[in-house]
Homo-oligomer: A and B are copies of this chain.
Amino acid sequence: MRIEVLISSAVIIPTAPPAVSGVGAIATFTGTVRGEENGHPITALVYEAYQPMAETVMHRLLVELAAAHSCHSVFVQHRIGVVPVGEAAIHITVQARHRAPAFAVLAAFMDRLKQDVPIWKTDTLPA
């Protein structure tokens, strides 16, 4: 099992994970900044992280989820700082033997991220 977590202010460039023997399913999720927040047009969101804890919590969570669903690897990138509209705030790639566990890890991770990972949208830049 391979878990990688990266929190950075750099633009997220989704890259295909290295091919792993036995993997038949690759599921990804990209969360992008929409042009409005709470009904108001915006040009960007600003994200802040308690970085060491966010990385640790995500890593622990992914180890738990990947083991429970027998996934081969999970790669997570979360951007912080200013993220302009249309750009990715988060990108996740899950590799598994079959699609059902890959989908399960993706959905469960996103749910838990939004409960337990210390990352915040702290501001919006209005349009």
Partner of A106, one of B27, B33, B110: B27
What 1/0 mask marks residues of chain A from 23 to 46 whose CB sits below 8 Å from any chain B CB? 111111111111100000000000
With known contacts A103-B103, A107-B103, A31–B35 Cβ distance under 8 A: no
With known contacts A103-B106, A106-B103, A110-B99, A25–B31 Cβ distance under 8 A: yes
Residues of A in contact, count (CB < 8 Å):
26
Q: Quote the shortest CB–CB distance from A27 to chain B (angstroms).
A: 5
Please give me the residue from chain B that is nearest to A24 by CB atom. Answer: B34
Q: Quote the shortest CB–CB distance from A117 to chain B (angstroms).
A: 15
> B29, A99: Cβ atoms under 8 Å?
yes
> A26, B30: Cβ atoms under 8 Å?
yes
Q: Quote the shortest CB–CB distance from A42 to chain B (angstroms).
A: 12
Bound Cα distance A25, B91 (Å) = 10
A residues with a Cβ closer than 8 A to B are 14, 16, 19, 21-35, 86, 97, 99, 102-103, 106-107, 110
Give 11 A-B contacts (CB < 8 Å), ordered by A residue: A19-B86, A21-B34, A25-B30, A25-B31, A26-B28, A27-B27, A28-B30, A29-B103, A34-B97, A103-B103, A103-B107
